[in-house]
């Protein structure tokens, strides 16, 4: 928010300077009209300056408009982020966020209870400190394996509370990456289990409880997906666009639900929330009451909340970038991670978003997006396949 306020101060100063320039042009014009001049071209030159000044005024108005859109989008994304942070804090299972080396950065209420330490005492400690001595080697091997393949994985292991009491735990970990593809943080789901549950949890696969024998709901590209406060949708196939409305009733993109992700009005605090299929999709409906009543289902559900939180945070970072070209390129990098398919030229976005969709996500105009995409193509940052899908080349983030 500070960056946006600073930008507004700069716009105000620019507008003030332009107004002073107008006054100087007017005084010059009056002097030229009143006095003989050496060249008849002088009044024409001043008229041209006046027209140029008007163009600057129009540009300033557009800057103010874009600033307002950015501020509104940032508020919207902050509200979404706050909602997911509340879900994180109130989760029935323990939840930890560590850096790529396993040092704890965040812990929710349940995690502090399981490990018998206050948050301020947990932060900064390596998670391996809480692993039983006889299983530390196994845990190090697990961390290495997770880092190498990058996939979400689960481990059943003995953890040691502060006070030396041991308990069996199920740990599920997923890695989040930065724009350069480097591991940034690790998200840990932590559950205490008894011996009777140990074998059962080892057999739980990531998506079994979500698929099961539930009916599949199919929607075609362009369909609006109905939302119910007591139902959460799980995406089996396709891509869903999640939007809200800004103050001026323009559509604001706040998320993209990809296969394996969940969405629904239960997961948001926004008053206006719409889900639209931007490809043919296959969804599974799960009642909130069923998730709350089933430990196994809630166990599988929390990592998917983590996916939405990560994506919302990424959108928030993008909205805070000052330059439009940086916001657009940052969005392309996000789409590359979420819906990218590796091809010879780089990473192909599996779904075609319209220039209007990209403009709404970046708080700019469709014309600007078209111009910038053309610029990115000339710079070799992107290209297009024969179906006009964007291919993002593996180049460093623009600065």
Are 238 and 226 in a shared domain?
yes
Are 152 and 104 in a shared domain?
yes
Q: Which residues pair with 19 in a beta bridge?
A: none
Are 12 and 82 in a shared domain?
yes
| Full domain range(s) for residue 22 | 2-87
187 neighbors 95 (Cβ within 8 angstroms): yes
Where a domain ends, among 184, 203, 222? 203
Are 199 and 96 in a shared domain?
yes
pLDDT score at 195: 47
pLDDT score at 6: 41
> Do the domain assignments include residue 236?
yes
Q: Residue 153: how many CA atoms within 13 Å on its side-chain side?
A: 16
Are 304 and 328 in a shared domain?
no
Are 57 and 97 in a shared domain?
no
Q: Which residues pair with 173 in a beta bridge?
A: 153, 188
Are 215 and 176 in a shared domain?
no
> Do the domain assignments include residue 397?
no
Where a domain ends, among 263, 292, 318? 318
> Do the domain assignments include residue 398?
no
268 neighbors 278 (Cβ within 8 angstroms): no
Where a domain ends, among 318, 337, 353? 318
CATH number at residue 135: 3.30.450.20
How many separate domains does the chain show? 4
Are 227 and 288 in a shared domain?
yes
Are 97 and 82 in a shared domain?
no
> Do the domain assignments include residue 128?
yes
Q: With 0.75 as the threshold, say if the pTM is over it.
A: no
> Do the domain assignments include residue 267?
yes
pLDDT score at 211: 61
Q: Where are the alpha helices (DSSP H) in the chain?
A: 2-34, 41-90, 109-115, 119-122, 136-149, 195-203, 208-211, 288-293, 295-319, 324-339, 355-362, 366-378
pLDDT score at 51: 66
Residue tagged 């003995």 (tokens): 158
> Do the domain assignments include residue 192?
yes
> Do the domain assignments include residue 399?
no
CATH number at residue 360: 1.10.10.10
Kindly give the parts of the chain with pLDDT less than 70: 1-60, 149-152, 179-181, 194-213, 247-248, 395-399
CATH number at residue 299: 2.60.120.10
> Do the domain assignments include residue 353?
yes
């Amino acid at each position: 928010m500070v960056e946006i306020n600073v930008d507004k101060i700069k716009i105000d100063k620019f507008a003030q300077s332009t107004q002073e320039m107008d006054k100087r042009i007017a005084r010059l014009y009056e002097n030229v009209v009143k006095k003989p001049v050496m060249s008849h071209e002088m009044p024409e030159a001043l008229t041209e300056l006046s027209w140029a000044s008007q163009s600057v005024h129009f540009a300033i108005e557009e800057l103010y408009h874009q600033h307002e859109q950015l501020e509104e989008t940032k508020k919207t994304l902050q509200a979404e982020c706050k909602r997911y942070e509340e879900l994180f804090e109130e989760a029935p299972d323990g939840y930890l966020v560590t850096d790529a080396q396993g040092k704890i950065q965040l812990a929710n209420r349940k995690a502090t209870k399981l490990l018998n330490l206050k948050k301020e005492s947990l932060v900064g400690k390596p998670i391996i400190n809480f692993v039983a001595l006889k299983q530390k080697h196994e845990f190090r091997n697990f961390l290495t394996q997770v880092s190498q393949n990058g996939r979400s994985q689960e481990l059943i292991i003995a953890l040691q509370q502060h006070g030396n009491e041991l308990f069996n735990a199920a740990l599920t970990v997923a890695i989040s990456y930065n724009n350069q593809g480097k591991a940034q943080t690790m998200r840990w789901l932590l559950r205490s289990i008894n011996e009777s549950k140990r074998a059962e949890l080892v057999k739980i696969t990531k998506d079994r409880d979500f698929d099961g024998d539930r009916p599949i709901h199919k929607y075609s590209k362009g369909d609006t997906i109905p939302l119910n406060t007591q139902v959460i949708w799980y995406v089996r196939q396709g891509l869903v666009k999640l939007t809200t409305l800004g103050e001026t009733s323009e559509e604001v993109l706040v998320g993209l639900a990809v296969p394996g992700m969940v969405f629904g009005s239960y997961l948001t605090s926004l008053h206006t929330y719409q889900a639209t299929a931007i490809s043919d999709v296959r969804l599974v409906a799960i009642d909130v009451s069923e998730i709350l009543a089933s430990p196994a289902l809630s166990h599988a559900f929390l990592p998917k909340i983590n996916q939405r939180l990560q994506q919302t945070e990424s959108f928030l970072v993008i909205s805070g970038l000052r330059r439009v070209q940086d916001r657009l390129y940052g969005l392309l990098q996000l789409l590359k991670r979420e819906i990218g398919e590796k091809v010879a030229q780089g990473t192909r976005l599996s779904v075609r978003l319209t220039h209007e969709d990209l403009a709404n996500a970046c708080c700019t105009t469709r014309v600007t997006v078209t111009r910038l995409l053309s610029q990115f193509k000339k710079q070799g940052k992107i290209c297009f396949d024969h179906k006009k899908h964007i291919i993002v080349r593996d180049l460093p983030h623009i600065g």
